Amino acid sequence: MTDLAPQTRSRVLSALRRQHVETASWAYGNSGTRFKVFPQEGVPRNPYEKIADAATVHRFTGVAPTVALHIPWDRVDDYADLARSAADAGIGLGAINANVFQDNDYKLGSVTNPDPGVRRKAIDHLLECVDIMDRTGSRDLKLWFSDGTNYPGQDDVRTRQDRLAEALRETYDRLGENQRMLLEYKLFEPAFYVTDVPDWGTAYLHCAALGQRARVVIDTGHHAPGTNIEFIVAVLLRAGKLGGFDFNSRFYADDDLMVGSADPFQLFRIMHEIVLAGALGEEAGIAFMLDQCHNIEPKIPAVIRSVLNVQEATAKALLVDHDALRAAQHAGDVLGANAVLMDAYNTDVRPLLRELREDMGIDPDPMAAYARSGYFERVRSERAGGQAAGWGA
C-alpha cells in the first residue's frame, strides 16, 4: 500500500503488531448442534493437545498469544503444569470460563435456582474457577449463565435477580486484586421466556453494583436480529464497563460461525468504535476472545481465518481518518462523514498485513503456510486413538 503516509503506516503497523486475539480451547474440539456433532480426525483429546493447536494458530498468525479455558471441559490435575506446557509452546492461558449449564441439578437454574442447595453448588463451582485462575495465572473469570425460565409465572424475576446478585457478590469478593469478573449476557437459549442475564443493561447493572473489576462481555451472537452492537460497544466503553468480546458471527441466532464471515462490515464498525476510543491496546483491558464452533469446517484453519478476519477489520479501522471524520461530523456533512468511514472499509488491507507478517518474521499467507506445514497430518496420526474432546453435552 504505497499511498499510505509514512507516519500512518508505522502507527497502523505497530498497533497491529501488538494485537492480541484470544482463541477458545473448545473451538478445537468436536462441536455441533442438537441435531448432530460431526466428529473430525485429529481433534485434540485433552487440554494439552488443545493448547498445542492454539499455539499452532499463534505460530502462523503471530497475534493469538493466549487460549481461554472452559471448566470442566479443560479440567486437569495440575493447572500449573498446564500453564507451563502452554508457556513452552509459546502461549499463555487466558480467561477461565465457568460452566453451570450442563449439570442435571441446573434444570431450573444454577445460581438463580429456587433450591438453595443447588445455588450453593453453583457458587462453589465459580469459586473453584477462581482457585484455578490462581494456578493458571489467568486475569479473567468469564461467567455466562444459561439460567432462565420457559413459561410466564414459572419463577419470580426479581427474586432470581437477587439470587444472581448474591452469587456474583460472593464470587467477586473472592477475586484476587489482579483478577476480574467478566459477565456475559445472551438474549435467549436455552431458556425461551426469561433469561436472567439477557442484555447489556442487565449485565451492566450487576457489574456496576459489584465494583471496578466487574465488566461486561459482548458475545456478538447473543443479540436480537438488527441490534446495533457497536452502539453497545461505545456506551460500555464510555462507562468504563466493557471487559471484552466473544467474537463470532451469525446469520440468524447464536450460530457461532467464524467472526467476520457473516457480517465483516459489522466487525469493522465494532473495531472502529474500539480504535476511536483508543481501546485497542492491552492497557485498555479489553479481551478480544473468539467463541466459535467449527461444526463442518476444519478447526485450526477456521480459527486462523477468524484471527485474520479480526486483523483485517482492525487494520481498516486503524485507517479511518479521524480528523476528517470529526470535521465532517462537526460540519453536519452526513455523506462526507460516511464516506470517510467507507473509504477505510473499502481499503484492501491484505498487502499491509502481508508486510506486517514479513516484518514479524512469519509467512505472509498463514492459511497456505499452515496447509504446507504438515501439522494436521502429524496430529491426525498421533491422535488416532483415545476420546476426542467435545462439549460433553
DSSP codes of every residue in 111-180? TT-SSHHHHHHHHHHHHHHHHHHHHHT--EEEEE---EESSTTSS-HHHHHHHHHHHHHHHHHHS-TT-E
Nearer Cβ to ligand LRH, position 110 or 347?
110
Partner whose footprint covers residue 312, from Mn ion, ligand LRH, none (CB < 5 to 8 Å by kind): none
Residue 25 interacting with ligand LRH (CB under 6 A):
no
* Alpha helices (H) in 292-349, listed in sequence order: 299-318, 322-330, 334-345
145 binds, among ligand LRH, Mn ion, none (CB under 5 to 8 A by kind): none
Per-residue binding letters, 164-203, with ligand LRH (x by CB under 6 A)? --------------------x-x-----------------
CA 312 – CA 10 distance, rounded (Å): 16
**74 near ligand LRH, judged by CB under 6 A:** no
Contact flag: residue 254 with ligand LRH (CB under 6 A):
yes
Closest CA to 320 of 218, 228, 230, 244: 230
How far is residue 383's CA from residue 190's CA, in Å, rounded to a whole number? 33
Sorted by sequence, the CB contacts under 8 Å of residue 85 that are 6+ apart come out as 48, 51
**Alpha carbons 215 and 223: distance in angstroms, whole number:** 18
Q: Is residue 50 close enough to count as binding ligand LRH by CB under 6 A? A: no
Between 64 and 325, name the residue whose CB sits nearer to Mn ion: 64
147 touches ligand LRH by CB under 6 A: no
What CA–CA distance (Å, rounded) separates 175 from 288? 21
Which positions from 132 to 151 touch Mn ion by CB under 5 A, shown as an x/- string? --------------------
Closest distance of CB 221 from Mn ion, Å: 7
Q: Which of 53, 291, 312, 363 binds ligand LRH (CB under 6 A)?
A: 291
Q: Residue 140, interface with ligand LRH (CB under 6 A)?
A: no
Burial 250-264 (b: 16+ CB within 10 A, else e): beeebbbbbbbbbbb
Partner from ligand LRH, Mn ion, none contacting 147, C-beta within 5 to 8 A by type? none
230 binds Mn ion (CB under 5 A): no
CA distances from 193 to 150, 188, 196, 334 (A): 4, 8, 10, 40
Q: How far is the CB of 338 from ligand LRH (least distance, A)?
A: 32
CB 66 within 8 A of CB 313: no
Q: Which does 254 bind (CB under 5 to 8 A by kind): Mn ion, ligand LRH, none?
A: ligand LRH
Residue with cell 478447526: 299
The answer to whether 273 contacts ligand LRH (rule: CB under 6 A) is: no
- Binding to ligand LRH (CB under 6 A) within 92-121 occurs at 97
CB of 196 to ligand LRH, least distance (A): 13
97 binds, among Mn ion, ligand LRH, none (CB under 5 to 8 A by kind): ligand LRH
Quick one: CA dihedral 126, 151, 232, 253, positive or negative?
positive
Paired sense of beta strands 148-149 and 194-195, if any: antiparallel
Among residues 246, 273, 312, 363, which is the contact residue for ligand LRH, using CB under 6 A? 246
23 binds ligand LRH (CB under 6 A): no
Residue 246 within binding range of Mn ion, rule CB under 5 A: yes
**Nearest residue (CB) to ligand LRH, 90 versus 392:** 392
Helix (H, G, I), strand (E, B) or coil at 290: strand
Tell me the C-alpha to C-alpha distance, in Å, between residue 206 and each of 49, 105, 219, 252: 36, 24, 17, 28
The site for Mn ion (CB under 5 A) is made up of 219, 246, 291
Q: Contact positions toward ligand LRH, by CB under 6 A?
A: 26, 97, 144, 184, 186, 219, 246, 254, 291
